[in-house]
């Protein structure tokens, strides 16, 4: 059988502080999407070479699996991200979406926490 390369899953980020607006927008945008898992970091069926839902897993809307923005941002990737009260432009949280022509606001955040 064909083997998928999942070596990338051995390295990860942990507790990256997300800006409040980014987490809330992510939840708003995805609340009516469906998922079969609360944690996408592990537990997939990879036998086909791509991630498939585990046998018997039931698909549900995000808003039921993740009842709050914090539940989504912190739970979806095994606490890779942390929901914060910090706002965009505060220099204390990572912005997931920004206009790169205006520079990367996350560089200052990385320097702050370094």
Query: How many alpha carbons lie under 13 Å from residue 47 in its C-beta half-sphere?
Result: 4
Give the other-Cβ count within 10 Å of 97's Cβ: 10
Tokens 């927008």 appear where?
Answer: 25
pLDDT class for 1, splitting at 50, 70, 90? very low
Instruction: Read off the pTM.
Output: 0.82
Q: What are the tens digits of pLDDT across the range 44-65? A: 999 898 889 999 999 999 999 9
């Amino acid at each position: 059988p064909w083997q998928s390369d999942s070596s990338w899953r051995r390295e990860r980020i942990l507790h990256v502080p997300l800006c409040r607006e980014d987490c809330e927008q992510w939840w708003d945008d995805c609340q009516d999407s469906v998922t079969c898992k609360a944690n996408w970091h592990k537990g997939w069926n990879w036998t086909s070479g791509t991630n498939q839902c585990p046998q018997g897993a039931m698909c549900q809307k995000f808003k039921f699996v993740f009842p709050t923005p914090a539940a989504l941002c912190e739970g979806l990737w095994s606490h890779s991200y942390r929901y914060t009260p910090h706002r965009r432009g505060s220099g204390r949280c990572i912005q997931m979406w920004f206009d790169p022509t205006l520079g990367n606001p996350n560089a200052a955040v990385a320097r702050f926490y370094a």
